[in-house]
Chain A
Amino acid sequence: CSRVVDMTTLGPHFTDCISRDQETFRCWWSPGSLQNLSSPGALRVFYLKKDSPTSAWKECPEYIHENRECFFDANHTSVWIPYCVQLRGQNVTYFNEDDCFTVENIVRPDPPVSLNWTLLNISPSGLNYDVLVSWKPPPSADVGVGWMRIEYEIQYRERNATNWEALEKQPHTQQTIYGLQIGKEYEVHIRSRMQAFVKFGEFSDSIFIEVTEIPSKDYTVPLTLVLIFGVVGVLTVIMLIVISQQQRIMMILLPPVPAPKIKGIDSELLKKGKLEELNFILNGGGVDGLPAYATDFYQEEPWVEFIEVDEEDAEGGDKEDNYNSDTQRLLGLPHRNIEGFSAISHPDDDSGRASCYDTDLPEHDTQRLMASLLPGQPEDNETCLDAPASETGEKPLIQTQIGGPQTWVNTDLYAQVSNVMPSGGVVLSPGQQPKIQENTSGSERETQKGGKQNEDVEGIKEQKRNEPQFQLFVVVPEGGGYTAENNTQQTSTPPSTSVPGAGYQTIQPQPMETKPAATGDANESPYILPEPSQPQLFTPVADYTVVQELDTHRSLLLNPPPSQSPSLCQPQHPLKVPMPVGYVTPDLLGNLTP
C-alpha cells in the first residue's frame, strides 16, 4: 500500500529494517527534517517483540550511531514473531504502525560471490555463443543448514546499453546465457532473494564477458574440398571396378539358373514341334546323338548308376557263344539304353552291397544267369541295339539276382524298370506276373547250382516266350535317392516303335524302401515299389510310351498306354486320369489321386 509522505514535515522515522541472514537484523532511522534531532543520542530506538501478551517496549540492544542504525543480534532476533520499532525523542514518541514486521519478511540476502563464466559453445555460423555463469551463495546466508533457501536472478546487458536483460530466477548456483554475440562485450551481475518472498538483495559486482572471433573458418573450407574430392575419387574407382568386372559381379550376384537341358541335345529340340528330331537324337542317331558308352558318358554324373559287368568275369568261365554275345552286348551296350534302365553303378567297393545281396552268390554264376536271361536274342548276335524296332516279339528279359552284382542286359529296347520285386528282381514289363518271377527265381536258383547255361537259357527262353513280358530284376544297393534322376532318364527314352504292346515299365529301383524318395507320395506315382510281402501285386504297368509333346512346363507328355491304365500304383490306388507313364511332372503329381 502506498503511503503519502510529506517531505516537508517529515519527522523522525525509520528508513528501513533489513535482515541479511534471518538471524539478525538492522534498522536505520532518519531524523527527518528536524535537524535538531540529528545528533546522536537525541533519538532512541525502542522495539516491541510481540511474543507474549505481556511484552513491553525495550530499547535497541546495540546502536551504531554513525549509521543511525540499530542492530539486533541473534539473541534478540526471533523469526515469525512480530516486531514493532519506534523512535523516541525527549518527550516525543514517533511511532508508525507500518514499522511492524516479522523478520522473515524483511530478509534481503547478500549477493552471491565468486561470479565467473565459461564458454559453452559457439554456434555453427560462428556468430553467437553460449556462456555458463556460475557463482557461490553469499557467505552470510547459512544455506548449508537449510536455514535459508535462496533463489538467484542474473541480469546482463551489452556494454553500453541501458536496459538489463533478466533471466529466470532459479535456486541453483549456475545458469546459462544463450545467444551472446561474438565481438560484443557484455556486463553481468546477479542478486538473490528468499524463495517465495519478494525482496531482493543487492546486486553483485559486474563481470564482463567478451568472446572475439575464432579463426577456425579457414580450416573448414579446404577440409571440405578434400573430403569432396576424396569421395568423388573413391566413387570413380568403385565404378571402374564395377564396370570392368561387370560380368563377374553379375555372376556372383545373380548366378545364372541352369536351363533345363539334356546333355547332347540342343535345348532347341525340346521345343514344341521338334519331337522327331528329338526322338532321333535320343535314339542315338546323328552326330548329335548321345555318346555310345554309358559309363564314359556318365562318368562324371554321380547320380547315375550303372549295372556294370566286370570284364574279367565275362571272359572267364565256360561261356556259350550266346552268352558271349550277350555279355558283349551287355558290355557294348549303348548308354542310350541306359535311360531305359535303372542304371545302377557297380561300385568297386562293397559299399551297400552287403545288406542287399547274398554274398555267397558267385559272380560268374550271376552273369551266366544274366546271359541266360536273354531269351529274345540268344542266337541273335546282333549287337545293334540301336535298332530296337527290328527286334520285336520278344523282349529280353533280364534278371538279376539279389545278391549278385547287378548286371542286366538289354539287347534291343530300352527296358524300363517298372518295379523292383522284394526278391530283388526288377520288373520291366507291365503286368508282371508273380509266377514268372518265381519261375525265374527258381530258374535262377537252378542256374546257381551250376546248370548248363544253355539249358537255362532255353528254359528261361521258353518261359519268356510264353510271356510277352519281361522282367528285369535290378537291385539297387543304395536308397531311392537316385530315383528321380533315373525316372527322368527313363522318360526320355525314345518311343518303342517296334513294340506297341510291349509292356515296359519303369521301375524305381528301390530295394528296401517302399516309397520313392524322389516323389512325394509313393502311392500316387505310376511306379510301384514292390512290397516285401506282396510280390504279386503288380498292376498292369503302362507301356513304353511315346513322347508326344512337351507341355508348357517342358515336361514330356507321353502317350497314355492304350490298354492299361497307367497306374503303377498299388492296387488300392488306381489312377483316375490316364496319365503319361514314365514321367510325371510335379504338377501332374497333384492330379494323381490315391
Chain B
Amino acid sequence: ALCSRLSSMRAASSCTNGQTGCHFLSLANLFDRVIQHSARMHGISNDLHSEFELYFLPSKNQIGRVSRNCHTSTILTPNGKENAQRIAREELTEVILKLLVAWREPLWHFHQNMAQHREFNNFSSNKSLEMSEMVHELRRGVQKVVEKMQMLGVINSSLGNLGSPEALLASDRAEWRLMNDYDLLYCFRRDSNKIQNYLKILKCRIIPEHGC
C-alpha cells in the first residue's frame, strides 16, 4: 500500500478556489503520505539491520561504539518529546530535511556495495535499493510539504535555503565514508526513526485535527 511514489503527490491539490479548509485537508493528506513513506523506510532499515546482524554477527553490542561514528551526529536533533515540541516548526522541518539530504549518497553507495556481496541475497539487495530510493523520494516529498506550508503561511519563508539542502551540509561531505556497512545500517535505522517521529510531531502540531 505504500508503493505509491512521492512524485504522485504532486497532483494532490485540487483546491483551486482558495478554500482554506480544503487546502489544509490536502496538506494533511500530503503529510499522511510522507509519514507513511517514512514509516516504511524505517521498517526496511530495521529489517536490513537485523539481517545484517544475522549474517555478520557482530560480536558485541556495539551501540556505544557505533553511535559516535554516525556522520549525522553533528546535526542537532531534539532528543525528547518536549524538545521536539518546543523548537520552531521551521527548525524542525530543517532538521528533517538535513537528515534526508545527508543520507542520500551514503545509502546509494551502500547499495552499490551490497550488490557485489554474494552473502546478501536478492531480497536484501532489493531492500537496499529500495531504501536508497526512498530517501530520495522522501526528501522530495518533504520539500513539497514545505512548499505547501509556506504557501499556506503555516511557516514563514525564512527557509529559503532549503531549496538547495546540499548547502546545509557543506561541512561533512566525506564523513560517511568512514563508516562500515554495519555502522551505516545502524545509524540509518536510528535516523529514519527520527525522521518518522519528527514528521509525525510536525503534522500534529500544524494540523492536529486530522488523524492525530
Interface residues in chain A, defined as those with a beta carbon under 8 Å from any beta carbon in chain B: 1, 22-23, 50-51, 53, 74, 77-82, 84, 97-98, 100-102, 104, 142-147, 149, 195-197
Chain A nearest Cβ from B21, distance in angstroms: 21
Partner of B85, one of A50, A98, A145, A196: A145
Chain B contact residues, majority secondary structure: helix
> Chain A contact residues: over half helix, strand or loop, or mixed?
loop
Question: Are B80 and A50 interface neighbours, CB within 8 A?
Answer: no
Query: In the complex the two chains form, is B77's CB within 8 Å of A145's CB?
Result: no
Select from chain B the residue with minimum beta-carbon distance to A96. B61
Known: A50-B68, A145-B212, A196-B43. A79 touches B80 (CB 8 A): yes
Q: How far is the CA of A186 from the CA of B79 in the complex (A)?
A: 43
Q: C-beta contact mask, B61-81 vs A, less than 8 Å → 1, else 0?
A: 101100110000000010111
Listed residue (A82, A84, A196) with the most chain B CB atoms within 10 angstroms of its CB: A196
Q: What are 22 A-B pairs at a CB distance below 8 A?
A: A22-B81, A50-B64, A50-B67, A74-B81, A77-B80, A79-B197, A84-B63, A97-B60, A100-B61, A100-B63, A144-B212, A145-B81, A145-B85, A145-B201, A145-B212, A146-B203, A147-B197, A147-B201, A195-B43, A196-B39, A196-B46, A197-B46
B: which residues have CB within 8 A of A? Answer: 39, 42-43, 46, 53, 57, 60-61, 63-64, 67-68, 77, 79-82, 84-85, 190, 193-194, 196-197, 200-201, 203-205, 208, 212
A101 contacts across to B, CB distance below 8 A: 63
Q: Which residues of B contact A51 (CB under 8 A)?
A: 79
Q: Considering the complex, give the chain A residue whose CB is closest to the CB of B40.
A: A196
Does A80 contact B190, Cβ atoms closer than 8 Å? yes
Instruction: Add 11 more A-B contacts to A100-B61, A147-B201 (CB < 8 A).
Output: A79-B197, A80-B77, A81-B67, A82-B67, A102-B67, A104-B193, A142-B81, A146-B201, A146-B204, A147-B84, A196-B39
Residues of the B chain whose Cβ atoms lie less than 8 Å from the Cβ of A78: 79-80
* CB closest chain-A residue, reference B79: A78
Distance from B140 Cβ to chain A, minimum over Cβ atoms (Å):
22
Q: A80 touches which one: B57, B64, B81, B193 (CB < 8 A)?
A: B193
Q: Is the CB of A149 within 8 A of B39?
A: yes
Q: Which of A74, A146, A196 contacts B82 (CB 8 A)?
A: A74
- In the complex where A84-B64, A149-B39, A196-B39 touch, is A144 in contact with B57 (Cβ < 8 A)? no
State which of B68, B205, B212 has its C-beta within 8 Å of the C-beta of A53: B68
A144 to B61, CA, bound (A): 34
Given A78-B79, A79-B80; A97-B61 close (CB under 8 Å): yes
Inter-chain contact A147/B81, CB cutoff 8 Å: yes
Bound form: Cα–Cα A196–B194 in Å = 13
- Closest residue of A by beta carbon distance from B77: A80
- Assess the A23–B80 pair: CB atoms within 8 A: yes
Give the CA-CA distance A102 to B193 in the complex, in Å.
12
A195 to B61, Cβ gap below 8 A? no
A102 / chain B contacts, CB cutoff of 8 Å? 63, 67, 190
For residue B9, give the distance in angstroms from its CB to the closest CB of chain A: 20
Complex: how many Å from CA A98 to CA B58? 12
Chain A residues near B68 (CB-CB < 8 A): 50, 53
CB nearest neighbor in B for A147: B81
Bound Cα distance A176, B80 (Å): 35
Chain A residues with Cβ under 8 A from B204's Cβ? 144-146
- B42 contacts A196, C-beta separation under 8 Å: yes
Cα distance, A196 to B196, chains bound together (Å) = 11
Docked pose: A142 CA to B85 CA in angstroms: 13
Bound together, the chains give a CA A443 to CA B53 distance in angstroms of 131
Least Cβ–Cβ distance between A253 and chain B, in angstroms = 54
How far apart sit A589 and B67, CA to CA, in the bound complex (Å)?
Answer: 104
Tell me, rounded to whole Å, the shortest Cβ–Cβ distance linking A385 to chain B: 90
Q: Give the distance to chain A from B93, nearest Cβ to Cβ, in Å.
A: 14
Residues of B contacting A197 in the complex (Cβ-Cβ under 8 angstroms): 46
